[in-house]
Amino acid sequence: MSAVEIFVPGRLCLFGEHSDWAAAYRASDPSIAPGYCLVAGTDQGLYARAEGAIDTFEIVSDLPDGRRAGPLGLPARPRDLDAAAHRGDFFSYAAGVAAEVSVRHPVKGLRLFVRGDLPMGRGLASSAALCVLVARAFNQVYGLGFGALEEMELAYAGERRSGSECGRMDQICAFGQRPMFVQFDGPKLELEPLEPGETLFLLIVDLCQAKDTRRILKDLNACFPRTPGPLAAAVREALGPRNAEILSRARAIVGTGDARALGELMLEAQALFDSSVAPACPELQAPRLHAILAHAALRELAFGGKGVGSQGDGCVQLVARGPEERRLLAARLESELGVRCLPVTLRPSAQE
């Protein structure tokens, strides 16, 4: 078995955060609304060299900050991989995917050397990208013949095996960098590739703060499926019917490539999230995120923005007025606030 080279981007949720797992409750309670989101792959991601191994699962990762995680070496047996998945350490999700693959398919071991420029724990689906990377590595090394949807499903099942309460949105990074409009209905999902009408110049701002995504997911899940009280009802309304209305508009805006309208809709979506969802979890107060959105440079150089991923003080996304404005905005925010900025560009396919 020869070595293969793999790339998986991160996932930027433009709109619809948390609607994926919320809509999963429809499987047992049809009163919960379907979920909708609009996502795109990031310019940043994870790269890996993968090769087969006889009887071990081995992984080592060089992190964006220069540190190294691992190496981890495990017997390539389902019970050992499953035990590692439940330890809650750095490679627990990767072990969960390896366990899932080994239970379902006739594979042996795997050796993975990972590197990348995708920030971790910033709402850009670094964990999901790693899970997809592991699933894709098994697929390509052992010639399993999976498409992106099957890789996505294995990655999702592996992350859930580790105890994560993630939804199905993050693993859409398996489809690459093209924008995707996604509908969630219980365990089902429908994917629709979108074609931006014009090039859109986004800027991701890494707020360089810690956030507890597990706490966010736990607190918001506690509002479902029929938790009494106005706070829980507001969360369900925001992630259900109100989200559907915003996503219908977002889908049309991306199709026209109207950057101004996109930025303004992000501000509207953020206001809804702040009023109806954030009160359910202290992690979502996000003072750093709101300081960025109120910064004077945005009035000159951007049309608007909102939180990323699970929200909280991980990252904020901004719609720049153009490529030069994006460069100037990044320089100002980095020099004045000590943040790290990453470009994401959504292009019509003819320009790719």
Return the number of other C-beta atoms located less than 10 Å from residue 175's C-beta: 23
pTM: 0.84
pLDDT at 101: 96
Q: How many CB atoms lie within 10 A of CB 241?
A: 11
- Look at residue 125 in the predicted model and tell me its pLDDT: 81
Alpha carbons 149 and 159: distance in angstroms, whole number: 15
Domain boundaries, the chain: 4-16+40-175, 200-351
Is there a shared CATH topology between the 4-16+40-175 domain and the 200-351 domain? no
Nearest CA-CA partner of 23 in 267, 241, 205: 241
Q: Which residues contact 3 (CB under 8 A, 6 or more apart)?
A: 49, 50, 51
Proportion of the chain in helix, strand, coil states, percent, rounded to 5: 45, 25, 30
Positions in the chain whose pLDDT score sits under 70: 1, 350-352
Q: How far apart are CA 196 and CA 90, in angstroms?
A: 36
Which pLDDT belongs to residue 351? 64
What whole-number distance in Å separates Cα of residue 209 and Cα of residue 92?
23
- Separation of alpha carbons 134 and 41, rounded Å: 18
For the domain made up of 200-351, the CATH class stated in words is alpha beta
Q: Any idea which architecture 4-16+40-175 has in CATH?
A: 2-Layer Sandwich (3.30)
Q: For the CA atoms of the chain, what is the radius of gyration?
A: 20
Position 46 scores a pLDDT of 95
Position 1 scores a pLDDT of 61
Question: Residues 6 or more apart from 227 whose CB is under 8 A from it?
Answer: none
